[in-house]
Chain A
Amino acid sequence: MSTYSDPPSGSFQLSMLINDTRYRSYTFQFVALLLLVLGMAYLGWNLVQNLAAAGLNISYQFLGEPAGYDINQTLIPYTSQSSHWQASMVGVLNTLLVAFLGCIMATIIGVAVGVLRLSNNWIVRQLMSIYVEIFRNVPVLVWILIIMAIFIAVLPQPRDFRGDDAEASMFLNAFAFTGRGFYSPAPIFGPGSGVVVAVFLASIAGIFALRNYATKALYQRGQLIPTLWPSIALFFIPAILAFYIMGRPIGLEYPELRGFNFQGGVFMRNSLIALWFALSIYTAAFIAENVRAGILAVSKGQTEAAASLGMRPNRIMNLVVLPQALRVIIPPLISQYLNLTKNSSLAIAVGYMDLTGTLGGITLNQTGRAIECIVLLMLFYLTISLVISALMNVYNNAVKLKER
């Protein structure tokens, strides 16, 4: 066997493109690039041919034309005369709304379930693992449709509230849980209500200031200042005083049955709630597993050390275990948020008008601009994903263990 430390010298030969590892990678890359370009060109050529044969073209003109259809849930002003672009924006906001609500609720349920799965109560532990296994192992679309079926088939419809001996009645005369959605009273801000709101905000700021002061006092002077009762008092008293001094400027508008539907108050549509709940409980099952894994990743010595300092179990959890577990939990948690946002595109199954329902649904149908609509749709979801990923990286770098 011959050994050599230097590559064989000599001039460059063509065969070295295949046989010499130094140059072979260039060959491979060149071939790969060539194949990619050829593949793209082939698909592009087909597209051009097909479009020409069908007499179509690629154009985004339609975005400026009036949409012509109505949308039930609009967070920005929109009428059927608004453009397709505005309709898409309504859809974007609806997507973001349900994703935002879903993430919050999924986190709350997920953390609760994850902690309870480690509870020392046997029966709770079992119930929680049943919850996690059932919800993880069944498609989220099925959960969305099941919750929608509850709305359709179980909850009373507005017609059941009608008449003298109605089958259903409003809860406390203020809340109505109907098959079309939930109605609750809405605040009405009269003149002078600005003062009340300002006082309320100021008192919240005051609570934070008090807590800050208390912490500082504890750390610097070892002085224990009670915060709980003063906080509660601060929260309620100034605002209530202001409310009465200003002559009760904020009223409540109660929903009531008028005509076909309940009118007035705050209305949350069945499609929003079905989507929101289903996405939350489904994603929560995954988050619970992440939380559990994160807590288990904190070494038992930490818990024992905290216990030996005389801390009670819930304080150990809050002050010692969770802060450390968070570092493990956050990255998968954010990818669950990402999944939830992407799964919100299933809105189309229950008629919630998110981006898939407006741009990818009715606009696509009405204009027939399939390629353009789907490209825009993908770009939007891609943007959201990239933004969330970027945030995740920033956060990850911030909480990374600073090793020295």
Chain B
Amino acid sequence: MKKLAILGAMTAAGLTAGAASAATLDDVKARGTLNCGVTTGLVGFAAPNANGEWEGFDVGVCRAVAAAVLGDPTAVEFVPTTGKTRFTALASGEIDLLARNTTWTFSRDVDLKFEFVGINYYDGQGFMVPKELGVSSAKELDGATVCIQTGTTTELNLADFFRANNISYEPVPIETNAEAQPLYLEGACDVYTTDASGLAATRAAFENPGDHVVLPEIISKEPLGPLVRHGDNDWADINRWVLNALIAAEELGVTSANVEELASAPGDNPEINRLLGTEGTLGEMLGLDADWAKRAIMAGGNYGELFEKNIGENTPIGLARGLNAQWTEGGLLYSPPFR
């Protein structure tokens, strides 16, 4: 008899949902929520807390987009994706935005037909080993058993690195970060390798983080960024400029604390005025209202605030800004001008 419920539900859903159009922005507005793809759980980047609410650095991007587009940072439906499912989920329209520490590569951009809207974290692949092994360089890892998360660029980099250095290893492919953790902790693998930020996040969740070291070698470039489908340029623009707005806000000194005040009236800095909509019509050009950037910044703060709150040095994850500092402070973050 249960079949009836499902049939009924399907029909009812079909009747109420109606046909969707090609424009993602309209879909999102009609739906009232943003479907945002995140990891299945990586503390600091995207993980549900004890109450089941998602929080983290990538989650912050989703919330900023939702705030800019829908006016409500909580109007986000988080869809956990694995390395395997993330691209199909995006390509098939199950999610509108994939903010899941995904590396921007040529083939993903060109062959898989996705549009990376920017880079929110400059990362690289590193190795974590227990301190007691006494290893100080990745080149000493000959014969080691290495746990890798599958479905990422990680396993390709790893194969290249070991081949280039002509050393052998035993790969142990693991589907998710959560499954890799016990394998590594109990010693079934000598080494755990993934993006350095992921290593820091994983290590932070250990009982004794001090017993493990991240080796100095960073064997790859991993520019991580949110991405959307190819072909919907308006939607890509919105996401790109929300991200840029967060970065620019930090550069311009706009924070979640003072954004309300700065947006209330045009100030001295014309770029802040344009960003916050008190001058010019940037919001309108995006198909949004004038306050879009203000709402995005208020959702979780500017880039620097998001970083400090979720993965910065005062959090258990304890990542330094490093490459992810503003260009004015020797980092790589450089938002194009808002004009």
A–B contact, 8 Å CB criterion (strictly below): yes
- Residues of A at the B interface (CB closer than 8 Å) are 50, 53-56, 68-72, 79-81, 151-153, 157-160, 179-180, 258-261, 263, 270-271, 348-349, 351, 353, 357, 361-362, 364-366, 368, 370
Complex: A5 Cα to B156 Cα, angstroms: 77
- Residues of B at the A interface (CB closer than 8 Å) are 22, 83-84, 87-88, 91-92, 108, 111-113, 132-133, 141-145, 150-152, 155-156, 158-160, 162-163, 169-175, 182-183, 186-188, 190, 229-231
Q: Are B112 and A368 in contact (CB under 8 A)?
A: yes
Partner of B22, one of A53, A71, A270, A357: A53
Q: Are A365 and B190 in contact (CB under 8 A)?
A: no
Partner of B150, one of A270, A349, A362: A362
A-B contact list, 17 entries, CB within 8 Å = A68-B155, A70-B155, A70-B171, A80-B160, A151-B188, A158-B187, A159-B187, A260-B144, A261-B143, A261-B190, A263-B143, A270-B188, A349-B175, A351-B174, A361-B151, A364-B84, A368-B108
Complex: A180 Cα to B229 Cα, angstroms: 41
Known: A157-B188, A179-B187, A259-B142. A365 touches B150 (CB 8 A): yes
Q: Are A370 and B88 in contact (CB under 8 A)?
A: yes
- Nearest CB of A to B229, in Å: 7
Q: For A72, what are the chain B residues with a Cβ–Cβ distance below 8 Å? A: 170-173
Q: Are A259 and B143 in contact (CB under 8 A)?
A: yes
Q: For B151, what are the chain A residues with a Cβ–Cβ distance below 8 Å? A: 361-362, 365-366
Q: Are B143 and A351 in contact (CB under 8 A)?
A: no
Q: For A353, what are the chain B residues with a Cβ–Cβ distance below 8 Å? A: 173
| Closest chain A residue, CB of each to CB of B108 | A368
Complex: A159 Cα to B132 Cα, angstroms: 9
Q: Are B155 and A179 in contact (CB under 8 A)?
A: no
Partner of A54, one of B91, B143, B160: B91
- Nearest CB of B to A263, in Å: 7
Q: Are A55 and B186 in contact (CB under 8 A)?
A: no
- Nearest CB of A to B18, in Å: 17
Q: Are B187 and A157 in contact (CB under 8 A)?
A: yes
Complex: A316 Cα to B172 Cα, angstroms: 50
Q: For A68, what are the chain B residues with a Cβ–Cβ distance below 8 Å? A: 155-156, 159-160
Q: Are B188 and A180 in contact (CB under 8 A)?
A: yes
Q: Are A365 and B113 in contact (CB under 8 A)?
A: no
- Nearest CB of B to A6, in Å: 45
Q: For B88, what are the chain A residues with a Cβ–Cβ distance below 8 Å? A: 370
Complex: A200 Cα to B64 Cα, angstroms: 75
| Closest chain B residue, CB of each to CB of A159 | B187
Complex: A180 Cα to B172 Cα, angstroms: 10
| Closest chain B residue, CB of each to CB of A360 | B84
Q: Which of B108, B156, B170, B173 counts the most chain A CB atoms within 10 A?
A: B173
Q: Are B91 and A56 in contact (CB under 8 A)?
A: yes
Q: For B229, what are the chain A residues with a Cβ–Cβ distance below 8 Å? A: 54
| Closest chain A residue, CB of each to CB of B135 | A260
Partner of B173, one of A151, A152, A260, A357: A357
Complex: A143 Cα to B71 Cα, angstroms: 48
Q: Are A70 and B159 in contact (CB under 8 A)?
A: yes
Complex: A322 Cα to B307 Cα, angstroms: 71
Q: For A69, what are the chain B residues with a Cβ–Cβ distance below 8 Å? A: 155-156, 159, 171
Q: Are B187 and A80 in contact (CB under 8 A)?
A: no
Q: For B169, what are the chain A residues with a Cβ–Cβ distance below 8 Å? A: 70
Complex: A259 Cα to B142 Cα, angstroms: 8
Complex: A70 Cα to B162 Cα, angstroms: 10
Complex: A56 Cα to B112 Cα, angstroms: 7
- Nearest CB of A to B159, in Å: 4
- Beyond A55-B230, A348-B175, A370-B87, 17 additional contacts (C-beta under 8 Å) are A55-B113, A56-B113, A68-B155, A68-B156, A68-B160, A69-B159, A70-B155, A70-B162, A72-B172, A152-B186, A152-B188, A153-B182, A160-B187, A270-B188, A362-B150, A362-B173, A365-B152
Complex: A41 Cα to B290 Cα, angstroms: 46
- Nearest CB of B to A311, in Å: 52
- Nearest CB of A to B87, in Å: 5
Q: Which of A71, A151, A362 counts the most chain B CB atoms within 10 A?
A: A362
Q: Are A152 and B143 in contact (CB under 8 A)?
A: no
Q: Are A261 and B172 in contact (CB under 8 A)?
A: no
Q: For B159, what are the chain A residues with a Cβ–Cβ distance below 8 Å? A: 68-70, 80
Q: For B142, what are the chain A residues with a Cβ–Cβ distance below 8 Å? A: 259
Known: A348-B175, A361-B151. A70 touches B143 (CB 8 A): no
Q: Are B145 and A260 in contact (CB under 8 A)?
A: yes
Complex: A157 Cα to B188 Cα, angstroms: 6
Complex: A70 Cα to B167 Cα, angstroms: 13
Complex: A366 Cα to B144 Cα, angstroms: 24
Complex: A263 Cα to B145 Cα, angstroms: 12
- Nearest CB of A to B181, in Å: 11
Known: A55-B230, A260-B145, A261-B170. A80 touches B188 (CB 8 A): no
List 8 tightest A-B contacts by C-beta distance, closest first. A157-B187, A365-B151, A80-B159, A260-B144, A55-B113, A259-B143, A368-B112, A69-B155
